[in-house]
Structure 1
Amino acid sequence: MTEQNTPFPGWDWDDPDGLAERLDAFSANVATCTKLEAAPAGPPRDHAGFRELGLTGIEFAAFRTAHPEGLGTDLATLRSADTTSEPGTLYRVDGDRWFTQLDIARPLPFADASVDWVYAEHLIEHVTLPVAVRWLREARRVLRPGGVLRLTTPDLARYLTGYATGDGFLAKHRRRLTTLGFGPPMPARPAFLVNQIFRHYGHQWIYDLDELRHVLGLAGFEPGQVRHCAYRQGARPDVADLDTAFRTDETIYVEADR
C-alpha cells in the first residue's frame, strides 16, 4: 500500500509539532451538534442566574456536558449546521444542555459563589502552570462555600512506574490510544510512550499528586481540603460520575473543597 493510500498519509509520530495541525482539525470536526440555539440572555452571572436555568455547576472542556444541571464550556467553537458559537453568548445544545464558549486563561465571567461544583477532565495539562494556577483561583472564587472542585489529569507517576518496571501499562495505553483512531499505531518504544504525554495533544504541564496539591495550594485551597479520589468516587456522586471510563488507565483523580 502506498503512503497516499494509507488512512494517515504523512503522519509521523516522531514529529509532534507537525501533528498539531492534524489534531486541531480533529478537534474542530468533533465540536459539532445537531441543534445549537442562542439564548435571549447571556450566560448566567451569579448563583440566582444559574438556578434560574436549573444549573448547579460548570464542566470545563465540555461541548455537551453529561450532567443535567451543568453548564458546559470550552475554548473551541461549537457548530451546528446553521449556527456557530461565539464567546459571551449562552447556547442550548440539542435542546437539553447549556453551553458557553470561554477561555480559562481569562477571568471567568461569573460572580463569586455562583456554583456548587466545578469539574474538568483532562484539561489542566493543556495550559501552562501560571495559567493553571490563575484558573484554579477563579474556580475557587466561583464555588459556593461547601462546593467541590474535581480535577482529572494524566498521572505522571503512573507513566514513570510503567517505564521503570515494565509492568505492561505503556503497552496497554498504546493499544487504547490506537483504538481511538487518532492516527496509526504509536511506536512501542517505552521512551516514546512517556514522551508523548509531554509533547502530544497540546499538553503543557504533567502532574502527579504532589504537583496537583502544589497548584491547588497556590490557588488558595488548604491542604486539608484536597484529597486523592478513585474513579467515579467522590464527595458528590453526580459529579464523580462525569469521569469517563476509557481514561482510567492513566488518570489521577483529585477533589478540593471550598
Structure 2
Amino acid sequence: MTELAALFSHQRPAPQGLLSRWKLYAGRYGALHAAARFVATKVPAIWPMVGPIVSAGYRRRWESGTGPRLLNLGGGGNLIDGALTVDIDPRADSYVDLTKPLPFAANSIDLIFFEEVLEHVEKPIGLALLRECRRVLKPGGTIRIATPDLDWLATEAPCDLVNDTFYGHDHRYIYSRAELANALELAGFSNSKWSTYRDPSARLGFLDSHADRFAHDPRLSQYVEAA
C-alpha cells in the first residue's frame, strides 16, 4: 500500500437505521449541517440555498488541517476519508458549484481527484474548471481525471453503449484523448500521463471506483494524471 493509499480510503456504506446515520453525520458535520443535509436529500431544491452556508464550516475545518489536501471534485456521495468531497449534491462534504470559481486559495491543494465529472459540463465550462484546478493546486501537485473515452466509444463500444454515453446521464461533452490532452495543456498542466483503471503505478489510481460502483467496462473511460 502506498503512503497516499494509507491516508485516503473510500468510506464504508452508512449504517442502517436513522439513529445510526444521525450519529455518524452529526459527528462528522455538526448537527445543523447534518440536519440540513438530510432534509435536502428529500427536498433537493432547498440545498442550493442552505448548502453553501451550512457546509462552509466543515470545508474551513478541513482546510485548516494538516497533511496533504486531497480534493474530490464532483464526487457526490462517493466520500473519501481524509479528503474533501465537494459537489452540489447534498451527500457531499461541502456545497460547491463547479461551474463557478472554486472557493479555495491559489496553491492550496496538493491533489485533485476528478472522476466522471468533466463530461457533465459544456466544453468552455470544462476548460474554465480545469484552469481553476490548476490555480488551486500547489506546484508539483497532481490531478487525476477519469472521463468517457470518445476514441474507445468510436472504435470498440456497442452501439447502445455509445448512444447511452452521449444521450444519457446528463452528459454535455465527450472528449477524445487528443482533445482532453489539449484542454489540459490550455489549462496550464504538463506531463500528462495516460493511465488505466486502478493503475497501481499511478499516483492516485487507487481511488478509481466508478466502474465497480456502476458495473461498467473500465475501458469506457480514459484515465490521465497531470502535474
What TM-score results when the alignment is normalised by the length of structure 1?
Answer: 0.61
Is the 8 Å Cα contact of residues 62 and 84 (structure 2) preserved in structure 1?
no
Residue 105 of structure 2 corresponds to 111
- 3-state DSSP class of the match of 1:241? helix
Cα pair 2:68 2:111 within 8 Å, conserved: no
Q: Does 1:255 align with 2:220?
A: no
1:196 is displaced (CA, Å) by 2.1
Give the AA of the match of 2:110. Answer: D
**3-state SS in 2 of match to 1:138:** helix
Matched, 1:240 2:205: yes
% identity of equivalent residues: 34
The reply on whether 1:200 has 2:168 as its aligned counterpart is: yes
Determine if contact 2:86/2:95 at 8 Å carries over to the other structure: yes
1:139 aligned partner = 133
Comparing both structures, which one devotes a greater share of its residues to helix? 2
Pairwise CA distance, 1:147: 0.8
* Alpha-carbon distance, 1:54 to partner: 5.6
Amino acid across the alignment from 1:34: R
Deviation, 1:43, is 4.7
1:227 aligns with 2:204: no
Query: 1:154 Cα deviation (Å)?
Result: 1.0
Aligned-pair CA distance for 1:68: 2.2
Q: Tell me if structure 2 keeps the 8 A contact 1:121–1:243.
A: yes
Give the number of equivalent residue pairs: 175
The answer (yes or no) to whether the contact 1:118–1:149 under 8 Å persists in 2 is yes
Q: Which has the larger radius of gyration?
A: 1
Q: Is the contact between residue 55 and residue 71 of structure 1 (CA under 8 Å) also seen in structure 2?
A: no
Do residues 154 (structure 1) and 148 (structure 2) align?
Answer: yes
Cα deviation code 1:5-42 (max 9, x no counterpart) = xxxxxxxxxxxxxxxxxxxxxxxxxxx99343345962
Q: What's the RMSD between the two structures over aligned residues? A: 2.6
SS in 2 for 1:34: helix
Report the CA distance between 1:153 and its aligned residue: 0.8
**Is the 1:74–1:102 Cα contact (8 Å) retained in structure 2?**
yes
Return the offset for 1:51.
Answer: 5.1
Aligned residue number for residue 69 of structure 1 = 82
Q: Where does the alignment leave 5 or more consecutive residues of structure 2 unmatched?
A: 1-17, 31-53
The separation in 2 between residues aligned to 1:34 and 1:152, in whole angstroms, is 30
Runs of 4+ with deviation above 6 angstroms: none
TM-score after normalising by structure 2: 0.68
Q: What is the distance in 2 between the residues matched to 1:74 and 1:44?
A: 12
- Structure 2 residue matching 1:109: 3-state secondary structure: coil
CA drift of 1:157 comes to 1.1
Give the CA deviation at 1:148. Answer: 0.3
Which whole-Å CA distance do the structure 2 matches of 1:217 and 1:249 have between them?
23
Q: Relative contact order (alpha carbons < 8 A, sep ≥ 6): 1 or 2 greater?
A: 1
